[in-house]
Amino acid sequence: MRGARTPTAIEPSTTGTSLPLWQLLGATARALGEVQSGHSSTQILKGLDARLKPGVQSLLFLALRQWGRASVIRSLLVSKKPPVAVDQLLCTALALVCASDVGPYEPHTLVNQAVEAAKKQLNTKPQAAFLNAVLRRFLREKDALMEAALKTELARYNHQAWWVAKLKKQYPSDWQDLLERAQTPPPMMLRVNATQVTREAYLGLLKAQGLEAHEIPGTRQGLVLKHGVRVESLPGFRQGLCSVQDGHAQWAAPLLLEAIGAQTLQNGITATSAESAKSAEPSKSTAPLMVLDACAAPGGKTAHLLEALATLSGVNDRARVQLHALEIDEERSHSIELNLNRLGLWGPGQSSASTPPPPLGLQGAQAPDHVGAHACPTWVQLWVGDAAVGSTWRALRRQRSGQDVLEQPETFDAILLDAPCSASGIVRRHPDIRWLRREADIPQLVAQQKRLLNALWLRLKPGGILLYCTCSVFHEEGQGQIDSFLQHNSQASLLPSPGHLIATKAHLEPTLLDNRSCDQDGFYYAILQKNAPI
């Protein structure tokens, strides 16, 4: 069956550790229980001991992709659901055995160590013999039990029923492929920092380290690794030579900047007075171009905008462009700052004149000629607050002296709204999403997106550009949202836009980027322009 396809690769993080497998299995079972209680895997992994984290993450993601199948098989094996802790360990072992063809351990090893894990915990020790008997039976009758389980959609697709039904309705030709791809770990994709090194030079650095990669079609700085690795092992990662970012996520910055226009970025905002109309050269306004990255954490798109702007001749100047990055969650807003620091893009008020660039320290990592060894823009300001309520914004400042804080603009020339969404397009990277998300969440998220879109539209200048995007494949969070917005906003025009992007197809205008790379996250992009009032 198409829906029964199993993963073909394991996670970039490795289970290589000196810790015994029974300890990893026990921790993984507890983590899966926390996911069932509504906690995200990101939160759970943050709280783990550093020694446990790599191994548990790998096993956790494998198990989450098989959780539906394991639950069905458990119901076939036992008539009464066992106590919670025992059930978590049982389903964890069943899920990992189902994924054993791509996992690091053999089925019998997993069963032995799961029983050992039961013996080591007070709340599961009395049920260790029961667990052993059930898992041994599964090994003996695996083929028959799998055949019976796969008659259910939950076991075939490992997604909730409402999710499967929605994809069937919205993607009648592709829904099975979408569900199958959600079972496979995504490839590791990188964005090369154009302010420090060219994509060609970084490919050479990867090759020198024995890492095979190739360019992502439709991107300018994107690379995909043949085999995922820990980020710390990437050449120059700590020095800011690259970031981990999906290929479709790398479309945001170029789409926004191309919609604004390179000439506008280089010249600033042109005046439209009668005198300038008579002259061959339009006069330039003293006002800089104001760009807002709303909902900016963790800062990948913010950094990409800064990198792209820094490579444009003549715009690395606060008099030309100001980039304002906004995030409602203060803790997450600091991740933007950390990312900008690592990439050498610094933060508010920091300039290359006052702080010398750190050495690359890597042979062959020459920066592009038109950029220089380092580009430190002085025109980025970080804010904490609600994008829909301007009065809540407050500047985020590092504990350094002599920093300027830019004023909050009343209006913007360009806005990037990467709206909160179901994240249904990135379920390969975050397999817990399929179990955490509830059908009732979707209308609430749609309402939140609408609130942000309407509020930010009021702060967009006439003639300005708003790029709306979500990492969702659900139509109501993408095209449905924009169709509704256009019906209620006569000043809005939809420019040629990528629309919904999925791994297997995208309905694109001929002039737009190509989506033939096939193995990227699900996204939606709409480019809106605000017309002058009639």
3-state secondary structure labels for all residues of 396-460: CCCCCCCCCCCCCCCCEEEEEEECCCCCHHHCCCCCCHHHHCCCCHHHHHHHHHHHHHHHHHHCE
DSSP state of 499: E
Q: Which among 242, 376, 421, 471 is annotated as catalytic?
A: 471
Given the DSSP bridges, would you call strands 492-501 and 523-530 parallel, antiparallel or unpaired? antiparallel
Q: What are phi and psi of 424, to 5 degrees?
A: -65, -15
CA 47 to chain CA centroid, nearest Å: 21
Could you tell me the pTM of the whole model?
0.87
CA pair distance 124, 95, nearest whole angstrom? 18
Predicted confidence at residue 469, as pLDDT, reads: 98
Q: CA 415, 421, 424, 427: dihedral to nearest 10 degrees? A: 90
pLDDT tens readout for residues 16-57: 457 999 999 999 999 999 999 999 999 999 999 999 999 999
Q: In what order do the strands lie in the sheet with 321-327?
A: 394-395, 380-384, 321-327, 289-294, 412-418, 460-470, 523-530, 492-501
Predicted confidence at residue 313, as pLDDT, reads: 57
Find the helix or strand (DSSP H, E) in which 526 lies.
Answer: strand 523-530
Beta-carbon contacts of 200 under 8 Å, excluding residues fewer than 6 positions away, are: none
Predicted confidence at residue 2, as pLDDT, reads: 35
pLDDT tens readout for residues 8-27: 333 444 444 579 999 999 99
Find the helix or strand (DSSP H, E) in which 461 lies.
Answer: strand 460-470
CA pair distance 11, 50, nearest whole angstrom? 17
Predicted confidence at residue 208, as pLDDT, reads: 96
CA pair distance 259, 255, nearest whole angstrom? 6
- Nearest CA to 411 out of 461, 467, 452, 455 is that of 461
- Nearest CA to 305 out of 350, 352, 258, 241 is that of 258
Residue 440 token pair: 């009732």
DSSP state of 284: B
Predicted confidence at residue 505, as pLDDT, reads: 43
Given the DSSP bridges, would you call strands 242-244 and 213-215 parallel, antiparallel or unpaired? unpaired
Task: Give me the numbers of helices (H) and strands (E) for the chain, helices first please.
Answer: 20, 12
Predicted confidence at residue 108, as pLDDT, reads: 96
Q: Which CATH superfamily is domain 187-245 in?
A: Sun protein; domain 3 (3.30.70.1170)
| SS3 (DSSP) at 249 | helix
Query: Helices in 11-106 by DSSP H: which ranges?
Result: 21-36, 41-46, 53-64, 67-77, 84-98
DSSP 3-state percent helix, strand, coil across the chain (nearest 5): 40, 15, 45
pLDDT below 50 — which residues of the chain?
Answer: 1-16, 269-283, 347-364, 367, 370-377, 399-401, 505-517
Domain ranges of the chain: 2-158, 187-245, 255-271+284-355+372-530
Predicted confidence at residue 314, as pLDDT, reads: 59
Q: Between 84-98 and 67-77, two packed helices, what is the crossing angle to 10 degrees?
A: 120
Predicted confidence at residue 205, as pLDDT, reads: 97
Residue 354 token pair: 């006052």
**C-beta of residue 323 within 8 angstroms of C-beta of residue 378:** no
| SS3 (DSSP) at 286 | coil
- Nearest CA to 433 out of 148, 160, 87, 121 is that of 160
Beta-carbon contacts of 368 under 8 Å, excluding residues fewer than 6 positions away, are: 194, 197, 198, 311
CA pair distance 323, 265, nearest whole angstrom? 12
CA pair distance 380, 357, nearest whole angstrom? 17
**C-beta of residue 68 within 8 angstroms of C-beta of residue 161:** no
The CATH number of domain 2-158, selected from 2.170.120.30, 3.40.50.720, 1.10.1370.40, 1.10.940.10? 1.10.940.10
Write the class of the CATH domain 255-271+284-355+372-530.
alpha beta
Decide: residue 432, CB within 10 A, 0-12 exposed, 13-18 middle, 19+ buried. Answer: buried
Torsional sign, CA 67, 426, 59, 45 = negative
471 is catalytic: yes
